[in-house]
Chain A
Amino acid sequence: LAKTTQPISMDSYEGQEVNITCSHNNIATNDYITWYQQFPSQGPRFIIQGYKTKVTNEVASLFIPADRKSSTLSLPRVSLSDTAVYYCLVGDYNQGGKLIFGQGTELSVKP
């Protein structure tokens, strides 16, 4: 499974757009990029998944350049409740199997 690198922490203010970038230089052809969100004392929650270009849902957007060696999770107009740890995962999850989590990015949203 491809190793991922993302910032350890980020700060933002309410109402701002937040972009968290993840590097995955060794991504394989069959790998998807998946982002999870985790609040303290809760299990991770699936946010979004993509393979290439752009994916958007009601929570976030995921931008993936053509070479797929990085990806950017975009959270529009964050609120205090978006304060959480965000994990970028890369793998061929069509086959199931374990998720490999890194340390994640701790996002702190301030008023």
Chain B
Amino acid sequence: DTGVSQDPRHKITKRGQNVTFRCDPISEHNRLYWYRQTLGQGPEFLTYFQNEAQLEKSRLLSDRFSAERPKGSFSTLEIQRTEQGDSAMYLCASSLVGGRETQYFGPGTRLLVL
């Protein structure tokens, strides 16, 4: 257990529905990252926050995806109008600014879009 938690751990939804995932980072960590991982591939970066500011977004993050970190603590990732291609593991990681940053990952949320 790294101290990063994600909820839910599994989500099954129908195409066209909206889903929201939550990530709670390690409490003192000010950077929070979202990644997506499909079967047999390494994780791919989606976006990251420093405190409440979203500093970078990948081109993978289409306009159906939105992420927030309203108070610089937990974060949510919402996918609107889900598509079957959104089926993946969504991973959250957090790190502390300063020195050699190590990202600590949560257990992930596995999404299946039917």
Residues of A at the B interface (CB closer than 8 Å) are: 32, 41-46, 49, 87, 93-94, 96-104
Asked whether B45 lies within 8 Å of A100 as measured between CB atoms, the reply is yes
Task: Give the contacting residue for A45; candidates B2, B33, B44; CB below 8 A.
Answer: B2
Cα of A104 to Cα of B37 in the assembled complex, Å: 13
B43 lies within 8 A of chain A by Cβ: yes
Contact with A along B48-64 (1 / 0, CB 8 A): 10100000101000000
User: From B99, which residue of chain A is reached at the shortest CB distance?
Assistant: A94
Query: Are the C-beta atoms of A46 and B103 separated by less than 8 Å?
Result: yes
Contact in complex: B100, A49 (CB < 8 Å)? yes
CA distance A32 to B102 in the complex (A): 11
Q: A49-B100, A49-B102 are in contact. Are A42 and B44 (CB under 8 A)?
A: no
B40–A103 CB distance below 8 A: yes
Contact A104:B42 (CB < 8 A) given known A46-B102, A49-B102, A94-B99: yes
